[in-house]
Structure 1
């Protein structure tokens, strides 16, 4: 069952062929993890969505409060019998159909899709995880590249490349040839006591888990947080690399080309993330 503009409908519901999300990628989305009905980091997701809608010049409905959307998500979980389980939520907002590149209006529809997942909180992933660079195409570092829109062609092609080369993931580069993120999340590089991640100005996604970790790392005196451009050369000099997103949490990287990595910092940060969730 899905939620389309407050209506609970069968999951085989079909969107119009004139959907702007389908035709032009004129849509934004948030991927949210829930644990037994609790929306993890919901406030951060909500404010990112509102900021993104303003950047995309979408009209924000008066009823689009944090409480209203949370209620709609929980209503969808209930319809799918997932209030007492863990789930992956996709909250998609698209501009109403009409017009070509220029829309007829800036009003929006919303769609909520839910899918059950196994992990209630965040677990350390110990399995072998290999990455490489995806260099066929580059990300232009602009404000639009920091948004979660339906324009994800580079992520799709990059994912196919990763599968063809037996990789678990790839890192994307911007037009300045700096590493900015993975195909499905932000990237952190550890060298000694320094934990480095690309700045938003390099074009990386303004990730929710990234935000949580920036706040946590600043409270750990043993480590120094650096937001600065990362060159591909630095990857082979690093002690540790990990990828973050709101559903998986922290994914340690095992191998990049001939270099292998530890996961010491990943363990520490994952523990602190889970403690934060228990306290909230």
Structure 2
């Protein structure tokens, strides 16, 4: 879609909004790059989008680009950058009345603060942001925002509430076909069951997450699922199975080695290798 728009924009027909679609498509391409296992290329797409919006002084596009980039940094697990881009997008959204974008920045900003230092008021504001997002009529990304809410609930010791939130996420993605984060929903379900000492259910969730990610060719979500499963097996003394499971997925990466996901996988592989030999 991005290539078509850049080479022959008239083929795309009149846009629903008076926007430069390339600035919106670039961060979405970044999401896709991250899912496919290219987290550094994902950032390149977002950086280009923001620079292009600034160059042409396009405020709405810049607000969108910052919000979409905040999500890419969420995927990369970089809270300082999430805060930076959510704040930048939020200022523009509030100034020009972009209510749906403002709602998403409320979610991002309060999620970052809550994960650093849980406070009831912050959790309530995450929920308010999600309500505002859905009240606007937006259906896209609801499942990923629900995952963020479940992460916050888990962070403050509410695994049962987190599991209920993830059931809402599954219902949404089933109804609306928003499947790109389905593997992460299952993986987080597994993590919550593990904290509740239900290792059997946790393993089943991790296996399901891995199967979904591999079917979607989502290398990054497959790595997350394999890391969670391998860590569980490590705790159970099944290192002989855990190491090859994780190593087979990790060895396909050729970038992003400074990101937290790859650092965690690499550290776990080192532990498993030491325990096995």
Same fold, TM-score > 0.5, yes or no: no
Q: Which has the higher contact order (CA 8 A, sep 6+)?
A: 1
* TM-score (norm: length of structure 1): 0.29
